[in-house]
A and B are shown apart, each in its own frame.
Chain A
Amino acid sequence: MTLFGLLRLVFILIFFGLMILFAVSGRSLPGVKLRRISAFTKLRRVIGLAVEAGSRLHISVGDGGTIGTESASAFVGLSVLERLAGSASTSDNPPIASAGDGAIGTLAQETLRSTYSRIGLSGKFDPDTGRVTGLTPFSYAAGTLPLVSDEKTGANVLLGHFGSEVALITDAGERSGNLTLAGTDNLPAQAVVFATAHEPLVGEELYAGGAYLNAGVMHDASLRTQDIFRWALIILILLGILAKFLGLDTMIENLIDELIGGLM
């Protein structure tokens, strides 16, 4: 294993260890105080309204697959789908999930099925509530539009991998007057979402969905761990700037080279 490989492994092990530590200590300590993200505050309100008014929640988990980095955002979408399906399952119009990839669509269907089963409403599960609406980005967006514009839909939650075509979906949400909350891992699409969605999620906010919807102690623990690593990175970047400013960067680079040379 190379030195950088070893560093990556150590990074992951520390991340893992801190998550376990915070998960264990989190059970005895008071709840994590999360900063306010307007999107999730409104989403919680909408879940209540969906149950009371009998409107439908539409959750779109994007067109990313199960292989590659984009799968993480789709998995976050599935976690949120599980929470929303559990909360809004008693609505007259149960939540519906759409996906732009066969594997993610199957997982969305399975998530809905297992959630209904877990809360004792297996009979209420309809396989059509987890559907693949298209298999290319644009056909997926086009196939999702009828779900967004459906008069029974009360809110649209778009969490997963989307490209710029997400503008078609958020625009339909805007025209139908339903709350549209959107987050994606794609940087250009984040700018699109910022301009077009009612409630955009920028950057890592997407991955915090589970913690804000009380998906479990591990979600809170992962947020705390991310905060620690974020501060560590900020300090490292500031130290790097200071070193550059003081002209120490070349000396540090040479030291690191010598260290790597000694370890290899």
Chain B
Amino acid sequence: MKLNFQTPISVAIAIGVGIIVLLGYFFGTNASGEITLIGILQSYFLQGAVVVAGVALLVGVFNLTAVHVKRIKQGDKAVYSLITVLALLLTLLVGAYDLAMTYLQGETGLRYTRWIFENIQLPIESSLMAIIAISLTYAAIRLLSRRLNFMSVVFSVVLIILLVGAIPAIAASDFNILSSIRNWIMSVPVVGGTRGIVLGMAMGIIATGIRILMGADRPYGG
């Protein structure tokens, strides 16, 4: 049977499940705290969503592999793709070996997988984090030349005050007005601004959710 996600049936299923999950948050339990039918259905659908998300992870791995295998065949920056595919296969083999050892010999801790994580992935990600620090500093310097407006000036001035105010020597000195300004910025405008942004985003999230519930937005492609 060919599943056609454009059919109204898929839209009806998506909307129906969405409404049940939403109602489950309000009517999931009765006055005496016992789970209701809607609560059971909500829990069932949410567990299903978690399983589907797990399977989708595998789909993502296959997609990633397929794209890189195709690039190797085409010779388009094939070296990088080859390294990616080999690293994936090697990690899979090591993971399988660790799992086999866990079941056959009772070893715990996935020793070699952890070694790969601690000695390859973690240093690489830390290096990327360091690159981000440099990229951000460079971007902040360039910001005023690229987009000179009121908000950019405010951003840059606040950034300088926060960075300078955080220097321990300045914070500990008698001349700690910068630290006072920094603390005030962090506790008043930053908190106020954050709440404003979060409230605005919360309404955006609700609107997006309602559009999906009504079938106006169909991220499932229907």
Residues of A whose CB lies within 8 Å of any CB of B are 1, 5-6, 8-9, 12, 15-16, 19, 65-67, 69, 72, 74-76, 78-79, 99, 101-103, 105-107, 109-111, 113-115, 117, 128, 131-136, 138, 141-143, 146, 164-165, 167-168, 170-171, 174, 185, 187, 190, 192, 194-196, 198, 202-204, 206-208, 210, 215-216, 218-219, 222-223, 225-226, 229-230, 233
A75-B217 in contact given A102-B60, A114-B6, A141-B128 (Cβ < 8 Å): yes
Cβ contact within 8 Å between A225 and B207: yes
A218-B63 in contact given A103-B53, A203-B196 (Cβ < 8 Å): no
What is the distance, in angstroms, from B121's C-beta to the closest C-beta of chain A? 8
What is the distance, in angstroms, from B137's C-beta to the closest C-beta of chain A? 10
Cβ contact within 8 Å between B197 and A203: yes
A132-B217 in contact given A146-B77, A196-B135 (Cβ < 8 Å): no
Name the interface residues of B126-146: CB closer than 8 Å to any CB of A.
128-129, 131-132, 135-136, 138-140, 142-143, 146
Cβ contact within 8 Å between A171 and B203: no
Cβ contact within 8 Å between B205 and A69: yes
B5 surroundings in chain A (CB, below 8 A): 110, 114
Cβ contact within 8 Å between A168 and B58: no
Beta-carbon contacts of B18-30 to A below 8 Å, as 1s and 0s?
0000100111000
Cβ contact within 8 Å between A222 and B56: no
A19-B210 in contact given A102-B60, A128-B67 (Cβ < 8 Å): yes
Q: How far is the CA of A187 from the CA of B197 in the complex (A)?
A: 8
B216 surroundings in chain A (CB, below 8 A): 216, 218-219
A107 surroundings in chain B (CB, below 8 A): 219-221
What is the distance, in angstroms, from B117's C-beta to the closest C-beta of chain A? 11
Residues of B whose CB lies within 8 Å of any CB of A are 5-6, 22, 25-27, 46, 49-50, 52-53, 55-61, 63-64, 66-67, 70, 77, 80, 121, 124-125, 128-129, 131-132, 135-136, 138-140, 142-143, 146-147, 151, 155, 194, 196-201, 203-212, 214, 216-217, 219-222
B206 surroundings in chain A (CB, below 8 A): 12, 15
